[in-house]
């Protein structure tokens, strides 16, 4: 919901006032909206955009060098009046005529058309291009009725760059029409937006569902579906847009600008997760991506939703898309096209040291153990997050899942290339630390790397050698993390586990010794419920954690128990 406002009836006016105060480097106010701070050269074409407020950075945030010359700003979700459009156009006109371009909504068409008639009656050349990129709003055979959504940016950018490059009015209008013909968008929403002063959102979406093809004000789409994963949403977007290519264009071998747009409440981090899959899917279809944009470019207050736009380029449109721009809500500099990232598994170091057959055999067992670790963490990730949230930030399960799964992938990759036991553990530790981040990620990197260094690639280790490696890892964690027994951390399990394993390994085989030490670890983990944290993020909320075990201690107990099961299945008698 919208929380920060004074009188809802003047919200748009106060918003514009604040925007101008914050953006005076780029814009200045005029009756009806804003225009560029520095006027364009005499004789050049002025590009005037506009629409209702509530969609920032559309429309005022797209006024600046390389983008629009002015924006007419209506009230919330309401078209600017013909008088506003005329006033902004008159303030930007430099003798080369005016292009009016905006999303294809009935109120906007009515008012912009009236402004165009008035400008022409005054002897000012004027052309109009409405943006019709939303494929869900009308059939392909009736594109003139489609509405404009985030694809506005593609048309505004191309037309404005052409105007700044010295095109005449006919040329700017031609470019805008070409850009519109080559732009397709498709959006979804997970919840509606609430206007200032309203008690309820403009529309609702059932919990666990999403509205497909919804407009930027909540206009009905083409249906509902279950809430997808990020990858499933990416596939929906790409399939929908590739299912309606512009005439004469095939995806294979084409170049496209890509805009993944957030509608207000979807976080950038979520958009990036979706975009990683979008990029891969388009690459698989043979599409070369040119300077993609991911972020909030056409919003709807606090609507939770997103849209994907594909702007299919030719040589001229690509040059205009890549031209520099500098506006309050959008900027672009000269730079080379960056190729798509390689999705191959991380190979953290180039070479794989030679290993003995005995070490290769032990490494295979370690690989199965790491696979079991990843599985047990995946199974308990939500519970680990819940435990961590009692007095911490609740991210332990997520971090452990990332780290363990990454370690598992890296171990499998290097084992396939002939890595011995020590190398496999070291590489798995590096991958864990790199992907998990945070304190637990760093500590698990230390544990695996220290153990791997101690065990090496020469021999199949004895039970005593494994116990010594675990002891070395325990000592390294305490030295690195500065935690001691009683601080309510993983150390309260790691130390007793290492001590128990060392004692048991002196009298028996590894599998039995590890199983007994794992049982001791589970007892130690449960006992952390009676401790108060003395270091780390939980310390300021120590009392809240009393009665709840430490998440890091619990995850360590889960891990050593999973490894015990692998060793028992292997029948290790080392």
Per the CB < 8 A criterion, the answer to whether 155 and 166 are in contact is: no
The tokens for 178 are 């070409």
Q: Which residue has the higher pLDDT, 542 or 537?
A: 542
Does the structure show a pLDDT above 90 at 452?
yes
Would strands 98-103 and 126-131 be described as parallel, antiparallel, or unpaired? Answer: parallel
CB-CB contact of 103 with 48 (8 Å): no
Instruction: Return the closest-CA partner of residue 79 out of 43, 115, 46, 44.
Output: 115
Centre a 10 Å sphere on the Cβ of residue 359 and count the other Cβ atoms it contains: 25
Q: How many other β-carbons are positioned within 10 Å of the β-carbon of residue 555?
A: 28
Q: Residue 536 burial by CB count (10 A; 0-12/13-18/19+): exposed, middle or buried? A: middle
Tokens of 332: 């672009």
Q: Please tell me the least confidently modeled range out of 114-118, 139-143, 172-176.
A: 139-143
Among 16-25, 45-54, 173-182, 327-336, where is mean pLDDT lowest? 327-336
Among residues 55, 86, 217, 396, the one annotated as catalytic is 217
pLDDT for the residue 1: 66
- Of 253-257, 396-400, 434-438, the poorest mean pLDDT is in 434-438
Model confidence at 348, in pLDDT bands (50, 70, 90)? Answer: very low
Q: What is the pLDDT of residue 435?
A: 84
User: What pLDDT was estimated at residue 537?
Assistant: 46
Calculate mean pLDDT across residues 233-261. 96
**Residue 123 banded pLDDT, cuts 50, 70, 90:** very high
Neighbours of 508 (CB within 10 A): 13
Taking residues 439-455, report their average pLDDT.
93
pLDDT for 390 equals: 81
Can you list the domains of the chain with their CATH numbers? 8-330 (3.40.50.10440), 357-570 (1.25.40.340)
- Convert the pLDDT of each residue in 2-33 to its tens digit: 788 888 888 989 999 999 999 999 999 999 99
Tokens in use for 546?
């009393």
* Helical (H) or strand (E) element with 226: strand 223-226
Q: Please state the rounded mean pLDDT for residues 287-306.
A: 95
Residue 507's CB: how many other CB atoms inside 10 A?
9
Does the predicted TM-score (pTM) go above 0.75? Answer: no
Residue 217 a catalytic site member: yes
pLDDT in tens, 248-260: 999 999 999 999 9
The residue behind tokens 């007892």 is 523
Distances (CA, A) of 121 to 118, 266, 570: 5, 45, 89
The helix (H) or strand (E) run that includes residue 106 is helix 106-121
- 380-387 long-range contacts (CB < 8 A, ≥24 apart) are 380/554, 380/555, 380/558, 384/551, 384/554, 384/555, 385/551, 387/548, 387/549, 387/550, 387/551, 387/554
Share of the chain above pLDDT 90, in %: 78
* 496-537: pLDDT as tens digits: 999 999 999 998 899 999 999 999 999 999 999 999 877 654
- Whether the pLDDT of residue 318 is over 70: the answer is yes
- For residue 5, the model assigns a pLDDT of 83
The average pLDDT across 352-364 equals 92
pLDDT band at 539 (very low <50, low <70, confident <90, very high): very low
SS3 for 456-500 is: CCCCCCCHHHHHHHHHHHHHHHHHHHCCCCCCCCCHHHHHHHHHH
184 or 3, which is more confident? 184
Is 50 or 301 the better-scoring residue by pLDDT?
50
Tokens of 334: 């000269």
Residue 535 has a pLDDT of 66
């Amino acid at each position: 919901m919208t929380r920060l406002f004074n009188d809802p009836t003047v919200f748009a006016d106060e918003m514009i006032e604040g925007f101008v105060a914050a953006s005076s480097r780029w814009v200045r106010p005029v009756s009806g909206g804003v225009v560029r701070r520095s006027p364009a050269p005499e004789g050049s074409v002025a590009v005037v955009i506009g629409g209702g407020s509530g969609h920032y950075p559309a429309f005022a945030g797209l006024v600046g060098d390389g983008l629009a010359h002015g924006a007419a700003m209506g009230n919330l979700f309401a078209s600017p009046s013909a008088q506003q459009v005329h006033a902004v156009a008159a303030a930007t006109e430099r003798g080369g005529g005016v292009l009016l371009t905006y999303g294809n909504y009935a109120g906007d068409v009515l008012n912009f058309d009236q402004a165009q008639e008035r400008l022409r009656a005054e002897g000012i050349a004027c052309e109009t291009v409405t943006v019709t990129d939303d494929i869900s709003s009308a059939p392909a055979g009736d594109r003139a009725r489609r509405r404009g959504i985030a694809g506005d940016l593609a048309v505004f950018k191309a037309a404005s760059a052409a105007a700044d490059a010295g095109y005449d009015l006919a040329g700017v209008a031609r470019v805008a029409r070409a850009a519109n013909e080559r732009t397709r968008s498709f959006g979804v929403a997970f919840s509606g937006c609430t206007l200032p002063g309203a008690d309820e959102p403009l529309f609702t979406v059932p919990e666990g569902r999403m509205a497909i093809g919804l407009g930027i004000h909540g206009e009905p789409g083409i249906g509902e579906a279950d809430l997808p994963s990020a990858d499933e949403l990416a596939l929906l977007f790409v399939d929908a847009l590739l299912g309606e290519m512009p005439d004469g264009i095939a995806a294979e071998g084409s170049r496209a600008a890509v805009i993944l747009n957030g509608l207000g409440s979807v976080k950038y981090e979520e958009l990036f997760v979706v975009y990683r899959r979008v990029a891969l899917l388009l690459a698989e279809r043979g599409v070369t991506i040119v300077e993609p944009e991911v972020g909030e470019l056409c919003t709807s207050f606090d609507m939770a939703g997103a849209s994907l736009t594909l702007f299919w380029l030719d040589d001229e449109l690509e040059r205009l898309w890549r031209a520099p721009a500098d506006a309050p809500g959008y900027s672009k500099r000269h730079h080379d096209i960056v190729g798509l990232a390689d999705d191959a598994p991380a190979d953290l170091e180039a070479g794989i040291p030679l290993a003995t057959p005995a070490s290769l055999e032990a490494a295979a067992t370690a690989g199965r153990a790491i696979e079991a670790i990843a599985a047990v963490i995946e199974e308990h990730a939500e519970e680990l997050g819940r435990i961590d949230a009692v007095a911490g930030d609740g991210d332990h399960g997520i971090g452990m899942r990332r780290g363990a799964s990454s370690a598992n992938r890296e171990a499998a990759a290097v084992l396939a290339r002939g890595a011995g036991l020590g190398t496999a553990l070291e590489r798995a530790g590096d991958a864990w630390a790199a992907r998990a981040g945070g304190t637990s990620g760093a500590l698990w990197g230390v544990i695996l790397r220290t153990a791997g260094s101690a065990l090496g690639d020469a021999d199949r280790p004895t039970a005593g050698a494994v116990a010594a490696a675990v002891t070395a890892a325990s000592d390294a964690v305490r030295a690195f993390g500065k935690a001691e027994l009683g601080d309510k951390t993983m150390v309260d399990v790691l130390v007793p586990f290492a001590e128990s394993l060392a004692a048991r390994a002196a009298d028996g085989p590894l599998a039995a010794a590890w199983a007994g030490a794992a049982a001791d670890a589970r007892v130690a983990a449960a006992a952390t419920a009676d401790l108060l944290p003395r270091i780390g993020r939980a310390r300021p909320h120590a009392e809240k954690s009393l009665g709840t075990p430490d998440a890091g201690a619990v995850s360590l107990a889960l891990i050593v128990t999973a490894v015990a099961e692998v060793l028992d299945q292997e029948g290790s008698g080392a």
